[in-house]
Amino acid sequence: MSSTTTGTVECLEDSERLDELLWQVLWRPLGLPRNIRSSFQLDGESIELVAKDEERITGGLVAVWTRDTEVELRHLAVAPGNHNRGTGRLLVERLVDMVRRKGCRRVHTIARHTSSAFFRKLGFCTAPGIPPDHPHFRRHGIVFELMEKHIEPE
C-alpha cells in the first residue's frame, strides 16, 4: 500500500477517470446510465478525491459541504482488484483530515448495507432519521443506512 497516494482531483482527465470508476463500481452493475452522476444535485462546494497507485486510479470519493460544519460523503468506490488494501480507508481518512482543518465537525453518509461495517471500522455510527428507500436499489437487494462521524477540532 506504500505506493498509493491520495489527493484532490485537479485536472479534467482525473475527473473523467473518477466518473468512470464511480459508474463502473457503483451504478453500472445496477443498469444505471453512464451519465447518472450528472443527475445528482450537489448544492454545496464539492470535494473530489482520488487514490492512485502510480498513475492508475484505484479509488475515488465525492463529498459535498452541506453546512458550514458538515460534509456529506456522497460516493466512495474502490477499483476491482484493490479491495481490502486500505484504499477506501485512506480516502475517508484524507477527507476527514481535510474538512477538519476547515471547521467540519460532522461527516455523514447514506451507506449501502454492504458498506456499513466498513464505515463503522472508521468510527461512523448510525445517524438519526429515516434512510431513503430507492425502488431501483431495493430491486437489487440494496438498502441504506444513515451514518455519521463526529469530528473533534484540531
DSSP for 29-58, please give it. Answer: GGT--TTGGGGS---S-EEEEEEEETTEEE
Structural domain harbouring 10: 4-150
What's the CATH number where 69 sits?
Answer: 3.40.630.30
In 3D space, the residue among 66, 48, 65 whose CA is nearest the CA of residue 57 turns out to be 48
Provide the domain count of the chain: 1
Each residue of 45-102: pLDDT tens digit? 899 999 999 888 999 999 999 999 999 999 999 999 888 889 999 999 999 999 999 9
